[in-house]
Every structure is written in structure tokens, then in C-alpha cells.
Amino acid sequence: MKYWLIKSEPDCYSIDDLKRDKKTAWTGVRNYQARNFIREMKVGDLIIYYHSSANPPSAAGVAKVVKAPYAEKEPLWSAVDVGFVEKFENPLTLPVIKINPKLDGMMVTQQGSRLSVQPVSKEHFEVIRKLGMVVSRP
């Protein structure tokens, strides 16, 4: 079981869109490194759903792989289907992710990391999920 992070611009396709659609085909990845990660995905792998180019950018929820990688454009590119798991009550914004020492070393916080599909450690995944589900009260 592996853990991943995928980026999407919410204006384009947000966690709410995924919630509504239940699942979607994750196509259009045109970066070799990201493609190689897609090819490593297995059904059941969990995914941090990250909103990029947003105000602020944030980890917005959790998705999962629901269909194994398949060729999108033979033989070059690959895709998977991802399904909705949960939307965070308390999305973790990028500054918050950066500040948390438990989340040190995540690819998404590294400067210039433009990879739209990234591996995430189990520890990092669980910290983000836990914090995301917590509803902060005054």
C-alpha cells in the first residue's frame, strides 16, 4: 500500500467536483516522472488531493486509486481512475504544511517542485489526514 499526492487546480477540478462525480479518470499527465509514479499506483492506494494555484494552496481531501494504471495515449502516457474518499473539514494550507515539523521533507513543500503526482510517506499521509479531519473550534 502506497501513498501519493496529486495536484489539481480547484478552478479546473476540485475536491468538490470529485465528491460530486464519485470518481474521475486522472488523465493529462505529461511529465515523465509523474507518469512513472502513476504507473506504480495500485488499486486501494490513498491519495492526498492537493489544490494548487489556489488562495491559499491546500491539502483539500483524500482520494484513492480505484482503477489500475492504463495506457492513455499508447504507448507513452498513463492514467488511473481516482475515487472520492473524503473532503477535509479543515484543509491544510501550504504555509501550515511548511511550518509543521512532522511534515518536513515533503516534496510539495520543496521549492520549485512542480511534480503533479508525488509519492508521500505513510507518516506524512497520516499526519495530514489527521489534521485535515480535525475541526478547529474557537
Partner DNA sequence: GCCAACGTTGGC
* Contacts to DNA by CB under 7 A: 7, 9, 30-33, 52-57, 94-95, 108, 110-116
Q: How far is the CB of 57 from DNA (least distance, A)?
A: 4
Q: Which is nearer to DNA, 44 or 104 (CB)?
A: 104
Q: Which is nearer to DNA, 33 or 44 (CB)?
A: 33
Q: Which is nearer to DNA, 25 or 43 (CB)?
A: 25
Residues 6+ apart with CB under 8 A from 110: none
Hey, how many other C-beta atoms are within 10 angstroms of the C-beta on 80? 25
Q: How far is the CB of 3 from DNA (least distance, A)?
A: 18
Q: Which residue has the cell 515539523?
A: 101
Q: How far is the CB of 92 from DNA (least distance, A)?
A: 12
Question: How is the beta sheet containing 23-26 ordered, strand by strand?
Answer: 23-26, 77-93, 58-73, 46-51, 3-8, 117-120
